[in-house]
């Protein structure tokens, strides 16, 4: 079974600074996807970034980037130039290529302070 671990239940960062959220996972699969989702108070699940395991290049989306270390099974999210609107719960998730069900970590609550 796949497990996803987020070891930081809560984090905070000053506006305009950079923060990194950690995620590790355990799997015997070689083909899979990894995701970071943002959940603001509205409860909506918003895809932040997606990484395919066969791609060595780290995914980036504007201020969001990942550090994907396949051998170490690590998938951290870096948020640059943090904004107040980044305040939310962030979930790391894993999905095998062979099916489409996701396994989520417990989440990290990020607060951006003015």
- Could you say whether residue 70 binds other proteins (CB under 8 A)? no
| Spatial separation of the C-alpha atoms in residues 109 and 11, rounded to whole Å | 6
Asked if 75 contacts 51 with a C-beta cutoff of 8 angstroms, the reply is: yes
With vertex at residue 55, the alpha carbon angle to CA 80 and CA 94, rounded to the nearest 5 degrees, is 75
String of contacts with other proteins for each residue 73-92, x by CB under 8 A: ------------------x-
CA quadruple 16, 88, 96, 30: dihedral positive or negative? positive
Query: Which segment (14-22, 59-67, 70-78, 97-105) binds other proteins by CB under 8 A?
Result: 97-105
Query: Which segment (14-22, 41-49, 60-68, 76-84) binds other proteins by CB under 8 A?
Result: 41-49
Residues that bind other proteins (CB under 8 A): 4, 6, 33, 35, 42-45, 47, 50, 52, 91, 93, 95, 99-107
């Amino acid at each position: 079974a796949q497990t996803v671990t987020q070891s930081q239940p809560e984090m905070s960062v000053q506006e305009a600074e950079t923060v990194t959220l950690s995620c590790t996972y355990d799997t015997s699969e070689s083909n899979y996807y990894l995701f970071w989702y943002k959940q603001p108070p509205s409860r909506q699940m918003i895809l932040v970034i997606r990484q395919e395991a066969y791609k060595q290049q780290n995914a980036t989306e504007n201020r969001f980037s990942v550090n994907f270390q396949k051998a170490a099974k690590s998938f951290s999210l870096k948020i640059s130039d943090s904004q107040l609107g980044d305040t939310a719960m962030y979930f790391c998730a894993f999905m095998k290529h062979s099916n489409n069900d996701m396994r989520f970590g417990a989440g990290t609550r990020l607060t951006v302070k003015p």
